[in-house]
Amino acid sequence: MIIRKAIVSNFNDALKLVKNTGSAAVVHGLLAKNGVLNTIVIEKIDNRAANILKQEVISVGAAAAISENVSRFKKGVSDTVLFATINQTEKLINKLRLQPFGLKEIASKLDNTVSKKKVFKYGEEILDLSNPVVMGIVNMDPNSFSGDGLTDSDKALKQAIEFERFGARVIDMGAESSRPGVNLVDARTEIRRLLPALKKIRKSVKIPISVDTYKYETAKAALDEGADIVNDIFALRRGKERLAKLIADTKAGVILMHMKGIPKNMQMSPEYKNCTSEVYEFLAQRKEYAVGFGIKEERIAVDPGPGFGKTVKHNVELIKNIDVFSTLGAVVGAVSRKRFVKALAGEDKISFIAANFLAAFCGADIIRVHDVKETVNVLKIVEAFRRA
């Protein structure tokens, strides 16, 4: 006889274990749902709703951590952590749909949280995210923080072609540095740097092209030349309605990033009470804003913005918890050559490759990198683990 632990990271892991027992096929799915634990945080829930939630959680055999204020019948809101298997979660959702005090909305959000499928669409195309993909960075700004800024469109073209050959699935072009302390440039300068290379690259590569900009004028010029995605570090806070409508009308994809402050001051003692929670709330609000102007959910990806208004500790927390953001859509992991990686492990290329690997392993779907060939190779390890 052998008694050992089993590692279950997802439903497929549990299903494989169940099938290996030789049990009847009819019970495979049901039993596997009992083998996967969902841990869900519900913040700022009405205490009256929390009281009912606690009773319903107990009724389905799950568990929840509830504030003492709830049992003392104090008014206000509090936070809750729910621990439930897939089966228990499904039963709980059905029960909460019948309850007052906002629990119907919580049921709907719970359902979305546990069943959301990640899709990222641009134009009429869909980016396959069954495994993490690499987004190769082509910098057209001589002041790039990473030191690889190009001013020659032919060199940019050569780099983009190489990236596609190495296995990149997206090209991300930028013409304005966003390094800490930098002054931002105007749209005319950005367009002048960007367009000559973009025109050449669009004619030569088949993979989608993302343009790293938050300006309406730059985005329009790029989309007119065949760009597919707008990568916006301000998450539509600068381009606002005008940029949002442009993205919706052209059916482009959009990446919404979190940044505390602006590049010039974002690293001046950034503080958070709960970094992951605050970044998630911000991105959820910006996604809602984008959807409000007609951008379809499947065309929206999110980037928690490591390095943009965060300390080393904040950045590590975000990468460790990056899969949390998957309920908002495809998740971009952009850690390549960031200062926090240098602070942790030095400036050796291996440190940056390791950071890219960890972002993917922890749940990011699109890994934005400078070192394309190396990252594509190491992500094959993540792919192998997902297949196992």
CA–CA gap between residue 199 and residue 193 (Å, rounded): 12
Please, are residues 306 and 334 in contact by the beta-carbon 8 Å criterion? yes
302 DSSP β-pair partners = 256, 331
In the set 338, 339, 349, 373, the catalytic residue is 338
CA–CA gap between residue 221 and residue 187 (Å, rounded): 10
For residue 111, give Cα distances in angstroms to 10, 84, 104, 117, 368: 17, 13, 11, 11, 30
CA–CA gap between residue 14 and residue 87 (Å, rounded): 13
CA–CA gap between residue 162 and residue 138 (Å, rounded): 11
Concatenating the DSSP letter of every residue in 244-284 gives HHHHHHHT-EEEEE--SS-TTTTTSS---SSHHHHHHHHHH
CA–CA gap between residue 379 and residue 354 (Å, rounded): 10
**How do strand 63-66 and strand 170-174 relate by DSSP bridges?**
unpaired
Q: What's the sign of the alpha-carbon dihedral 255, 288, 251, 235?
A: negative
Q: Is 368 a catalytic residue?
A: yes
What is the 8-class DSSP label of residue 322? G
CA–CA gap between residue 263 and residue 370 (Å, rounded): 20
CA–CA gap between residue 289 and residue 291 (Å, rounded): 6
Residue 263's nearest CA partner among 318, 308, 216, 218 is: 308
Q: Which residues contact 146 (CB under 8 A, 6 or more apart)?
A: 137, 139, 336, 337, 370
Q: What's the sign of the alpha-carbon dihedral 130, 167, 210, 213?
A: positive
Reduced to 3 states (helix: H, G, I; strand: E, B; else coil), residue 7 is coil
In the set 109, 349, 368, 373, the catalytic residue is 368
- Residues known to be catalytic: 338, 368
